[in-house]
Structure 1
């Protein structure tokens, strides 16, 4: 696996399309609380988020396909998605470690219903500091806001 950090100017339409496909496959495999209509409603927002996030690291297979990606703005994790075949392989931890080393991830927002992701962050010493009943766009998906706990 190769890791590429892509500055915004290097995020070609091809990269954005490939990463959007990884996002969709990952969401379908892990976000069981979203129905088809919700996925279709959220999907158009993903390419813009991928273009705008300041720090974007992509894990690329030997065949040249993206296996997962992590995006950070400031010290906040904005996105971490893996292709379903890479879930549970340690790739998420590798991406997270790279993001932490480069950006010091102090804050994370995670869907409350995404227990797998929540457990991943809790194992890394993050603690929930507050909850909202909706996501940032006002959709009915509660969010948990986590901060790094040093104790």
Structure 2
């Protein structure tokens, strides 16, 4: 078994896009089964054409290979996704710490049905500041807004 060597580097659209889209899709299928595969396939198009191009993205690598990423809109975490095979090994913590160091504070929204992510953010020190009953598309999937200050 090889040793894990985690690093964070800036996103390179020319080389990273296909890999990050795959990571996003695999992680989303696992974390958001309640959304359904069809909707996630539609969202994948938005990831490629809207979300990634408009975000400040940082990539977590294990021995140089991308295994996850964080997308920032100023201090708002638009998304944090780690390839399922690499979850629980420190990449999410590393990306969050990097973003917090850059920005000084972070906010995000997380589906409350994604209990693993909610617990992960709480463990990192994020605190819930509000909830809303619907997601960005008006669908009945509750979201919690959370905040972390450095």
Give the TM bin, normalised by the shorter chain.
0.7 to 0.9
- Give TM-score scaled by structure 2 length: 0.86
Distance 2:43 2:13 in 1: 20
- Looking at structure 1, the residues matched to 133 and 53 of structure 2 have their Cα atoms a distance apart, in angstroms, of 28
Would you say the 8 A contact 1:77–1:105 is kept in 2? no
**2:91 matched to which residue of 1?**
91
The 1:45/1:88 distance shift into structure 2, 3 A limit, reads: same
With over 3 angstroms needed to count, the CA separation of the structure-2 counterparts of 1:58 and 1:149, relative to structure 1, is closer
CA RMSD after TM alignment: 1.8
Could you tell me which residue of structure 2 aligns to residue 122 of structure 1?
122
> TM-score when scaled to structure 1?
0.85
CA distance, structure 2, for counterparts of residue 15 and residue 74 of structure 1: 21
Distance 2:65 2:139 in 1: 32
The number of residues matched between the two structures is 144
Q: CA deviation at 1:2?
A: 2.9
Question: What is aligned with 2:140?
Answer: 140
CA contact (8 A) 2:93 2:124 kept: no
1:20 CA drift (Å): 0.7
Q: What is the distance in 1 between the residues matched to 2:104 and 2:73?
A: 10
Give ranges in structure 2 of 5+ residues lacking alignment.
1-5
1:102 to partner: Cα distance: 1.1
Match of 1:113 in 2: 113
